[in-house]
Amino acid sequence: MSGGIDPGCIRIRLRQDAGCISAVDVVSARPMVTSVLRGRLADEAVTLVPLLFALCGKAQGRAAELALAAARGAGSAPRLDPDIAAEAMREHLWRWLLDLPPLLGAAPLRDEFALAMGWMAQGEHGRLAAFLDQPRIDELWQGLDQVADLSEAASSSLPGIDAGASVRYWPRLDAEFCRLPQWQGRAAETGALARRGGQGEGAVFARRWRARLGELREWAQGLAKVGAGGTASSVPVAPGIGRGLVETARGLLMHEIVLDGERIADYFIVAPTEWNFHPQGPLHRWLTGRPVRDRAALEGFAARAVAALDPCVRWELAWL
């Protein structure tokens, strides 16, 4: 976020007992930016939303616009929004070319990233698609199998949900759900892998990275379909209440606006990071019970786990 608002932090606290991680405390310490929006004129508030978020600003702004239109009675069927899809794909590209190589012991591909961003800006999707099939990308793909990982049974993934369907599952949003969202009574993961039904090649971390690349390749080849990153929809929840949903790079984003005349009476945002870094979510499951023979190695594993889930804010780890 910008505008003087601290975007917050994911705080991970570990406790060791008998040589293993006995307790994992995951807290998303993020400010409730919706307090800035309450009481404002609705159109002014929606204009402000993308200025509050440094990452996925277009997705946040579009979700706000959709929610406001729905609160005024105009819903929108699910569709791929070109601007939001492009923003999501830029995020995937950043992760693959700048963040992933250092995790594999290589240097970030800065020159390649600059070229790819240029192709995206110029609409040269064919050149991007060809680049994504180059040997250097394949080396990164193969390198994911060489990194210490873990095996995992099927985990709980958030299924594809549009705005209309969301009302059946969550008739109204509230502050508690925004802080600790749940799917059918438990934590669930959202993002590129969830959008692919949780299915992919490789171990736990590799599947999540490869799902991002798969989505990016499909977009570059013109094969992306509704449900992929960039999908947006909205629905009137009740008179004066509207909800907008957007599939961002990191997963499902929900905005719900409650109007009082032309002012914001209440505003709720459920961000992907709250799903993926739920206290009982994947990070808790991956770390609990893990041996601590080498604290530095364990912290390296935790860093790879966090990167696989891709928070939209900084994170920190401490031992209790």
State the pLDDT at residue 4.
46
- Tell whether the model's pLDDT for residue 202 goes beyond 60: yes
State the pLDDT at residue 3.
45
Pairing of strands 20-29, 76-80: unpaired
State the pLDDT at residue 7.
73
Token pair of 1 as six digits: 């976020």
Question: Which residues have a Cβ under 8 Å from the Cβ of 23 and sit 6 or more positions away?
Answer: 13, 14, 15, 17, 288, 320
What structural domains and CATH numbers belong to the chain?
9-319 (1.10.645.10)
Q: If you ran DSSP here, which 8-state letter would residue 45 be given?
A: H
- Tell whether the model's pLDDT for residue 319 goes beyond 80: yes
Average pLDDT value for the chain: 93
Q: Is 297 helix (H, G, I), strand (E, B) or coil?
A: helix
> For residue 170, what are the CA distances in angstroms to 41, 65, 173, 183?
26, 20, 7, 9
> For residue 176, what are the CA distances in angstroms to 15, 131, 148, 180?
26, 44, 36, 6
Average pLDDT of the segment spanning 269-298: 94
> For residue 12, what are the CA distances in angstroms to 18, 28, 244, 284, 314?
20, 9, 30, 9, 11
Cα–Cα distance for residue pair 296/293, rounded to 1 Å:
9
Cα–Cα distance for residue pair 203/149, rounded to 1 Å:
6
State the pLDDT at residue 260.
98
Question: Which residues have a Cβ under 8 Å from the Cβ of 294 and sit 6 or more positions away?
Answer: none
- Tell whether the model's pLDDT for residue 86 goes beyond 50: yes
pLDDT tens-digit map of 225-247: 999 999 999 999 999 999 999 99
Average pLDDT of the segment spanning 213-234: 98
Q: Is 273 helix (H, G, I), strand (E, B) or coil?
A: helix
Percent of the chain with pLDDT over 90: 86
CB 193 within 8 A of CB 208: yes
- Helix (H) or strand (E) holding 171, with range, is none
pLDDT band at 80 (very low <50, low <70, confident <90, very high): very high
Cα–Cα distance for residue pair 243/172, rounded to 1 Å:
9
- Tell whether the model's pLDDT for residue 151 goes beyond 80: no
- Tell whether the model's pLDDT for residue 49 goes beyond 50: yes
Rounded-to-5 percentages of helix, strand, coil across the chain: 45, 20, 35
pLDDT tens-digit map of 3-33: 445 678 999 999 999 999 999 999 988 777 8
Average pLDDT of the segment spanning 255-281: 96
